[in-house]
Amino acid sequence: MTLPQTTYLRLEKTGAVIVDIHVIPNASRTQADGEHDGALRVRLHAPPVDGKANLALIAWLADTLNLAKRDVALIRGQTSKRKQLRVSAAACIKADWSALVS
């Protein structure tokens, strides 16, 4: 497995990958939108209410990488715009990392 050289993807010793994300909720549609302060900027269609934006972000990342939602976990930033998600080591091998770098 080779990760693209970006500031927002970090390989852990366990083989899992940490993705740093800066979220912009209430966007017209959900999409990646470049980088912001070393993180991947993601515009989310979901509102930041009752964890809907977090669930939408997990679903979007899993879908973009062609993984199951169970392979992606929010590990930091439940209530902030800056978030960290972990992609499990087993899923990293089959993930389509090039889809995040455009």
* 21-73: pLDDT as tens digits: 999 999 999 999 999 999 999 999 999 999 999 999 999 999 999 999 999 99
Contact between 52 and 87 (Cβ < 8 Å): no
Whether residue 46 is contained in a domain is answered as: yes
* Residue 100 forms part of a structural domain: no
Give the domain CATH number at 18: 3.30.1200.10
pLDDT in the model for residue 4: 86
- Inside any domain, residue 39: yes
Percentage, residues of the chain above pLDDT 90: 90
| Any domain includes 28 | yes
Q: 1 in a domain, yes or no? A: no
Q: Under 8 Å CB-to-CB from 7, ≥6 apart: which residues?
A: 20, 35, 38, 39
Domain extent at residue 51: 9-95
User: Does the residue 4 lie in any domain?
Assistant: no
Residue 75 in any domain: the answer is yes
Q: Backbone phi, then psi, for 97, in 5-degree steps?
A: -65, -30
pLDDT at res. 102: 63
- The mean predicted confidence, pLDDT, of the chain is 94
Q: What is the pLDDT of residue 101?
A: 81
Would the pTM of this model clear 0.85, i.e. be above it? yes
Residue 1 predicted with pLDDT over 90: no
Structural domain includes residue 101: no
Number of domains in the chain: 1
Taking alpha carbons only, the member of 5, 87, 6 closest to residue 41 is: 6
